Amino acid sequence: MTQVLDLVGIFVFALSGALVGVRRRLDVVGMAVLASTTALGGGILRDLFLNITPAAFYSVGYVVTPLAATAIVFFWHPHVERVMPVVNVFDAAGLGLFCAVGTAKAMSHGLSPLHATLLGVITAVGGGVLRDVLAGQIPTLLYDRQFYAVPAMLGSAVMAVLSVMDLHGWPATLAAAVLAFGLRIAAMWFRFQAPLARGVSPQE
């Protein structure tokens, strides 16, 4: 079940990466690179930090899923753009799942709660950062005006705390993931934004 949810999250993240490729007028190869980087980059970074072989290097599904998302966007990107509100909901679910699973995996490998939380955030947003760098954009993580990294950070922190309290398994993962998901959905609905430095207007 966890792998199925993981692949769903990868698929949705890959859709967003491929759409960036369309907006940057990249060819199908560039779209596939951005889709795969967005979907798999965070998990690969996490596993490399943990000194383990990333699942993307031995699971066919992890490779095929971003390519399938690329094909869908390549042929039907206007339609995908139109259903982006729905895609964003699944993207928020992927964010919650990835930050919780990433933190739990880091804790299981002996990292401290603080470092596990940071690694959980990297799992959730690392692919997006790599995507933006490859696309020649300032990573959205550096100006979290869409309130994306903060829900991942809080979800990861809760997962780390639950692990310290010896609460493991899918109930703990679900609780942390739902928290991050709920905060992200609330941010989209109520247009929450991370604060700028005092005296700096949003237009600057």
Write the DSSP symbol of residue 198. Answer: T
> What residues contact 150, with CB distance under 8 A and at least 6 apart?
144, 183, 187, 194
* Axis crossing angle, helix 60-82 with helix 28-49, rounded to the nearest 10: 130
Domain limits at 115? 2-190
Asked, for residue 201, whether it belongs to a domain, the answer is no
Q: Which long-range contacts (CB under 8 A, 24 or more apart) does 170-173 make?
A: 170/1, 170/2, 172/100, 172/104, 173/2, 173/97, 173/100, 173/101, 173/104
Confidence of residue 55 (pLDDT cuts 50, 70, 90): confident
Asked, for residue 195, whether it belongs to a domain, the answer is no
**Average pLDDT, integer, range 181-198:** 84
What tokens appear for 75 in the block? Answer: 């042929």
- What's residue 1's pLDDT? 59
| Residue 157: closest CA among 112, 103, 93 | 103
| Residue 125: closest CA among 91, 95, 85, 145 | 95
Asked, for residue 199, whether it belongs to a domain, the answer is no
Asked, for residue 204, whether it belongs to a domain, the answer is no
Q: Model confidence over 4-37: pLDDT tens digits?
A: 777 888 998 899 899 989 989 999 999 999 999 9
- What's residue 82's pLDDT? 86
Integer CA distances (angstroms), 101 to 12, 91, 118, 121, 182, in order: 17, 15, 12, 10, 16
> What residues contact 146, with CB distance under 8 A and at least 6 apart?
140, 187, 188, 193
- What's residue 178's pLDDT? 93
Asked, for residue 196, whether it belongs to a domain, the answer is no
pTM: 0.87
Asked, for residue 43, whether it belongs to a domain, the answer is yes
**Average pLDDT, integer, range 126-137:** 90
Q: How many folded domains does the chain comprise? A: 1
Are 96 and 178 in contact, with CB atoms under 8 Å apart? yes
